[in-house]
A and B are shown apart, each in its own frame.
Chain A
């Protein structure tokens, strides 16, 4: 023993091992975990409020905080170094803590200490004693059989003239803490895998009748065959749908209609319906009749600089070093009518031709084109073929999703098992009592400050009382939370 103490002291004197020991204990500490989770919660709160009007209210109420609030809005908490740091610390803490707790939990499950002391039973918050009208061996057998019927595992050991009995149930549920904590790490891994190996294009626009490449090395392209929408009486979109055709390396591989809650998946790539808008189909030819452009442009991603109610778009013509700016009719005429100087009608588009490149002319020929009537501007013929729509999709590939689903399953499963199958333990000591073959039993649960555990114990005692046809004497301590020296509230105040 003395040798062991010396060796232990020797270990502590080694600076490196002392440091390792301290770091290990830090990561195993529940107190540290509480602080880490609390810091994470505070950062999440700061980030959450950033997406709200609350900081602005603070700045309005306390003008001196204006600069701080501006910085608050500018700080992307969830992608900041402190946030990543605390996540990393928590991940390490979960890993180290799991490694540290696993052997102890395994011992509790497989090799629990059966022997107990009379002091433990005497000092327990609740305990029960009885004199059973049976010899000790039969009493222990009946006790074990009764608890086994209530799903307890019962283990007994002889210590002198006494028999010590340990009973527990739901012992395997103690392992559920591991999948739960593993799930938290897996969620982070899933996020990292998704960010590192996936992609997400948030603004993938396809005008009706057009085809767009997905890119990102997928070899996929998508055609919007048709766009359908329906509207409520109050002017809010009731539903909208894109009829898509998917091509892989030019070959049609899938044809599907998608809505907001029904995306289309092919391989690891998924297309999500996000929004939609107005589009216009144009045909542009040069003086020799060669087609420079025959497609649709989306209107609405841009707005006319002089009138925000007028959707606008751009046609690029790199082969002739030109660009055509297109402005559609005002969408909301009653609003600021003085800004609607173009006064376009349905079936009309304003176009302005701009030369690009170093020798571009500052001359900007423009005009109003009427649907179906080509107009010559700056040497090119511009025809507004028809109005149409564009669909706004998201295209994403996230290889972290299966990891996330696994984590979700482990997280909820782990929590449910931990909470609803609590490990219940009862210790008992059986003693022979007198020459008539009676047995004295004293028992108590391991349920300190655990009201439900103590209630389960009382229920077990009730069942045992029925089995032995003997009244058990239950001793209960006072409420453990009531501080010493406290007195009940006086009846007259």
Chain B
């Protein structure tokens, strides 16, 4: 078992390297081609005038190919890291913030790569991989004791429900991250209309499609959490801060879905709500750090 845990950790290290490489490649691809020009002109009076200009252009295709390759490497390494940890612990590896965040990096990179493949656009990667890289750095910052596989405390000893409940949460958060990236690019596109970025129409659709996965998933999280709470705590809803934070996030995305059918809201305002929604996701995700209540586990308290 220790060997598996160590293997999982090495795979996580490989994931981190791949995510970093993917991040660099996606940023290069997303920003596009930039050429800086400096010109010096001598005036008849003998003075020198310097001017600088930047030339922007479409990104290089090879940066995109590398980005995709590293992105898939990250998803595959992270997938195996989660799998080996799952084998070592004989359960869905979600018992503390290290395991949960590792699984999040896996689902985030995988979800993004699938979106990239489906929509045939790569520019979102610059934002999604920034989030993935941030998560990897967060994982490295966690205390080493959290890398060990611990037995579950009695409240968590419900393997089927824990696996499905937490998996649904990870999928929801990952797809919301993709919608967040789409919203950011949408707002950029609305103001700058950059020719090599995806059309605002497509970005709006990516944001919406991501939410159509995340919103039912988060509903499932709330429902499965209620089923579990009913079994373990004797009440399907206890107004626990983590429960209500998830409910808050769900309501924000509920507002987003309604604004799409509202004249004057679809587009820019909807995109802003997607950004607020992802802030709410972060609030829920890291809630264990500042919430008390029934969900006060995860190894960070």
Contacts and interface: CB of A to CB of B under 8 A. Distances in A.
A412 B234 contact: no
A487 interface: yes
A408 B265 contact: no
A54 interface: yes
A197 interface: no
B205 A44 contact: no
A52 B232 contact: no
Interface string A389-413: 0000010101001001000100110
Given A261-B157, A272-B233, A488 B195 contact: yes
A319 interface: no
B282 interface: no
Contacts of B247: 44
Contact of A52 (B153, B226, B261, B287): B287
A259 B255 CA distance: 40
Interface string B71-104: 0000000000000000000000000000000000
B158 A270 contact: no
Interface string A9-46: 00000000000000000000011011001101100110
Interface in B173-218: 186, 189-190, 192-195, 199-202, 204-205, 209, 212-213, 215-216
Interface stretch (B38-46, B131-139, B236-244): B236-244
Contact of A408 (B157, B223, B239, B290): B223
Given A44-B251, A396-B234, A449-B201, A51 B194 contact: no
A412 B236 contact: no
Q: Is the interface of A mostly helix, strand, loop or mixed?
A: mixed
Nearest to A448: B266
A493 B190 contact: no
Interface in A35-67: 37-38, 40-41, 44-45, 47-54
Contact of B199 (A200, A404, A450, A479): A479
A396 B262 CA distance: 44
B251 A52 contact: no
Interface residues of B, number: 66
Contacts of B239: 47, 51, 78
A41 B251 contact: yes
A486 B245 CA distance: 40
Q: A232, A396, A415, A486: which has the most chain B beta carbons within 10 Å?
A: A415
Given A259-B157, A481-B267, A493-B54, A41 B262 contact: no
A41 B252 contact: yes
Nearest to B252: A41
B63 to A, nearest CB: 19
A193 to B, nearest CB: 12
A34 B258 contact: yes
B259 A482 contact: no
Given A34-B265, A481-B200, A404 B236 contact: yes
11 contacts: A44-B244, A45-B248, A238-B151, A238-B154, A274-B234, A411-B219, A411-B223, A451-B205, A481-B190, A481-B201, A482-B190
The 8 A-B pairs at the shortest CB distance, nearest first, are namely A451-B205, A51-B241, A481-B200, A394-B234, A419-B212, A41-B251, A272-B234, A415-B216
Interface of A: 30-31, 33-34, 37-38, 40-41, 44-45, 47-54, 78, 191, 200, 202, 232, 236-240, 259-263, 270, 272, 274, 394, 396, 398, 401, 404, 408, 411-412, 415-416, 419-420, 449-452, 479-483, 486-489, 491-493
